[in-house]
Amino acid sequence: MKKLYKVSVSLLLSLFSLGCSVTADWSTASRESAGIAPDPTDYQDAIIHVYGADAWGWRGWFAIHTWISVKRGGQQDYTVYDVVGWRQYRGNTVLVAMNDIPDRHWYGAKPHLLLEIRGEQAEDLIHKIEQAVADYPWKESYRAFPGPNSNTFVAWVGKQVPELNLELPFSAIGSGYVDQFKQGSNDLLDEQ
């Protein structure tokens, strides 16, 4: 019985340390394109994508990380809007907007497309997304639970731009943090 217990604990710890990642080292985990987003040099229309991928390590057993990628018509690059906690630990803002691969693996985890809008409708909504990003109230704050985190950010954009009809899955832990925020109230901002 003691031997079985040791084997079970050892196996559990091994799985716990690996989580849902293919590799145990985040620095060598895949950040390649998943091949979901159209090549911006071939696809000339506007596009909005919202992605989710298993969170890094053991968190990926129950939680996802989400982000938004947009491209205006005629542009040759996607702009990726993302919130990542470790940026805070380096003294940077947690919210970043940058030209990047829109459908990157999230440190080994293949992303899933949660929302897609193309063409004129996307073109009309991109400026609203940009305004929602600019107005995001927790650019300097990050907490894995209950938020604000990457899922809080994507949920915030969805609330500010209801035309997106964005519905995040239950595994987007932190998305409910937005519901606690009252427009014009600094209560949640003050506690950060």
5 domain-assigned: no
pLDDT, tens digit, for every residue of 95-140? 999 999 999 998 888 999 999 999 999 999 999 999 999 999 999 9
Helix (H) or strand (E) holding 49: strand 47-54
pTM of the entire predicted model? 0.81
94 domain-assigned: yes
pLDDT at 86: 78
Pairing mode, if any, of strands 95-99 and 47-54? unpaired
Torsion of CA 85, 86, 91, 94, to 10 degrees: -30
139 domain-assigned: yes
pLDDT, tens digit, for every residue of 130-153? 999 999 999 999 999 999 999 999
55: closest CA among 27, 75, 26?
A: 26
Helix (H) or strand (E) holding 19: none
143 domain-assigned: yes
Intra-chain end-to-end CA distance of the chain, in Å: 48
Residues with Cβ within 8 Å of 108's Cβ and at least 6 positions away in sequence, in order, are 20, 21, 22, 23, 26, 29, 30, 56
7 domain-assigned: no
Give, in order, the Cα–Cα distances in Å from 89 to each of 93, 134, 138, 150, 155.
Answer: 9, 22, 15, 15, 23
10 domain-assigned: no
Tally of domains within the chain: 1
Q: Which position has the token pair 């938020």?
A: 147
Helix (H) or strand (E) holding 120: helix 119-135
User: What range does the domain containing 121 cover?
Assistant: 20-181
Choice between 159 and 12, residue whose per-residue pLDDT is larger: 159
